[in-house]
Amino acid sequence: MSTILVTGAAGFIGSHTCHALLSEGHRVHGLDNVNDYYDVALKEARIAKLRDHESLVFHRMDVADEGSVSDLFSRVAFDAVIHLAAQAGVRYSLENPRAYLDSNIVGFLNILEGCRHAGVNHLVYASSSSVYGANTTQPFSPHQAVSHPLSLYAATKLSNEMMAHAYSHLFRIPTTGLRFFTVYGPWGRPDMAMYKFVRAIEAGEPVLLFNAGDMERDFTFIDDAVHCVVRLLGRPPEPDEDWSGESPDPASSSAPYAVFNVGTNQPVMVPRVIAIIEELTGQEAVRESLPMQPGDVPSTRADTLSLERAIGPVPVTPIEEGIRQFYKWYRAYNA
């Protein structure tokens, strides 16, 4: 049994991660500022569900608040930290860029400092598939160089990876970055495509298809993503003895540092997702074609070979089953 801090505990991936850790018998401290980027009621409902576990302690706190974060690390001895708190969303970064610096940069620095001074054994943190930016070689591999982000959100996530490496190098803190690929499922975010598609189809409103629907995503079911998070938590990275500065591998280091993709390597075209939802709802979607949005990319596909070598077989829930489970939750939650 370990004591683990999970930031972003009221969020989609964070709340599921807390449940998984609690079910394995760990003591979990969940941290979240419960901001209003999307429906606060949904976040509060996730928190309420977490409170069913006696081994959970919830802290309503902002990771950007240096004093509060420092005080928490001084009061509680964490064996490991899973940092999932962030200002999410590619398009929102065009509207409110400073929110991304406060949460994703300042907040991450506070977590790194907390881990440094408290001697935390392993920091696992959320990066994003968005860091691949202008890269077009697919599947996207963590061994590719990434230096051309297409949004401020992506830039902050890439910065997190660089900051983590610096702390791993300077202070020997084992850090593992997770590049999540389009995670979906029950308790998912209202600003994500799956939720938007279902809501629009049931309401008879237009489904907005960017790039005229010619888009594919490596949709990753939430249970599969959390499985990877929890398995990697128990495998802190060690320095790579074969790493060389003459041909540096971005996914590893001479420091205790690693980066992995969390995806399926089985991308799905957006029109297929729409068709599955139409079958579940018994309603035909009203389609509206729009151009590609700033900061967006037409395709994502995750190379998961490194992940498989680290944790063994990576579970992949078929898209039909994943959407069915999401829709079942959506109907119950919105009843």
Predicted local confidence at residue 294, as pLDDT: 81
Rg over alpha carbons for the chain, rounded to the nearest Å, is 19
Query: Which domain does 164 fall in, by range?
Result: 3-185+220-263+300-316
**CATH number for 91:** 3.40.50.720
Res. 292: pLDDT tops 90: no
pLDDT at 106: 97
Identify the CA nearest to 268 among candidates 309, 221, 201, 326.
221
Would residue 42 count as lying in a domain?
yes
Q: Does the structure show a pLDDT above 80 at 22?
A: yes
- As a whole number, the mean pLDDT across the chain is 95
pLDDT at 297 over 90: no
pLDDT at res. 55 = 92
Catalytic residues: 153
Is 290 inside any structural domain?
no
Helix 193-203 × helix 319-333 angle, to 10°: 60
- In contact, 246 and 141? CB cutoff 8 Å: no
Work out the average pLDDT over 44-71. Answer: 96
Band (pLDDT 50/70/90 cuts) for residue 296 is confident
Question: Within a domain: residue 202?
Answer: no
Query: DSSP secondary structure string, 79-112?
Result: SEEEE------TGGGGT-HHHHIIIIIIHHHHHH
pLDDT at 93: 81
State whether residue 249 is helix, strand or coil: coil
On whether residue 89 sits in a domain, the answer given is yes
How many domains does the chain contain in total?
A: 1
d(CA 170, CA 167) in angstroms, rounded, equals 5
pLDDT-wise least confident of 48-57, 105-114, 245-254, 291-300: 291-300
Q: Residues 281-303: what's their mean pLDDT?
A: 90
> On the CB side of 28, how many CA atoms lie within 13 Å of its CA?
32
Torsion angle, CA of 260/94/108/182, rounded to 10 degrees? -30
- Is 293 contained in some domain? no
Greater confidence (298 vs 181) lies with: 181
- Closest among 83, 14, 20 to 46, alpha carbons compared: 14
Question: Where is pLDDT greater, at 96 or 245?
Answer: 245
Pick from 84, 75, 30, 76: nearest CA to 52: 30
Q: For residue 215, which amino acid is it? A: M
Where is 6: in which H helix or E strand? Answer: strand 3-7
329, part of any domain: no
Local confidence band at 89 (pLDDT 50, 70, 90 cut-offs): confident
The answer to the question of residue 161 being in a domain is yes
Mean pLDDT of 250-257: 98
Q: What is the mean pLDDT of residues 286-315?
A: 92
Q: How are beta strands 257-262 and 206-210 bridged, if at all? A: unpaired
Determine, yes or no, domain membership for 284. Answer: no
